[in-house]
Amino acid sequence: MSSQKIEHIPSPLEAHLGFWLRFVSNHVSLRFQQLLEEKGVTVTEWVALRTLWSQDETTHAELIRALGMTKGATSKVVSRLQEKGLAERELANGRAREQCLGLTTAGKTLVPQLAALADANDAHFFGHLPADERLALTKAMQALVQHHQLKEIPTA
């Protein structure tokens, strides 16, 4: 008698929900990245700008948490936004170690334009779905985030 090893036959890629999530996500993200690049902004810069838009002043530490990046990487993002005239740094209460970050007038003008691009990108990919299906998809994704305690905002 010979012992035969029973092998598990791998399921096709298309049988996995993760495949479809990644497939759609990559296309949604790539198109949005291209729309942002036409405005001279990266996805990471967009997330930083949108975070800064939410408050009159944001500390460097708050932006680090929002971006989920290291202090050095976040500092480079802020420097690029400064070079583009979209953000500015000031010392917080005169303390050299703490900075307050904010948008310039140009940054405040640009954020709504970029938000409109995000809305248009969503409409491009999801606008054909009935409102109840879009809401169900959003709630399903939020439930996954909550269940797995996902915290970092995707910036790349």
* Total H helices, total E strands in the chain: 6, 3
**Which tokens hold the place of 1?**
């008698």
Measured between alpha carbons, how far is 154 from 2 in angstroms, rounded to an integer? 52
Measured between alpha carbons, how far is 121 from 29 in angstroms, rounded to an integer? 9
Measured between alpha carbons, how far is 136 from 134 in angstroms, rounded to an integer? 5
Which domains, ranges and CATH numbers included, belong to the chain?
A: 40-123 (1.10.10.10)
Q: What is the pTM of this model?
A: 0.83
- For 109-128, the pLDDT digits (tens) are 999 999 999 999 999 999 99
Give me the mean pLDDT over the 87-115 stretch. 86
Measured between alpha carbons, how far is 152 from 68 in angstroms, rounded to an integer? 5
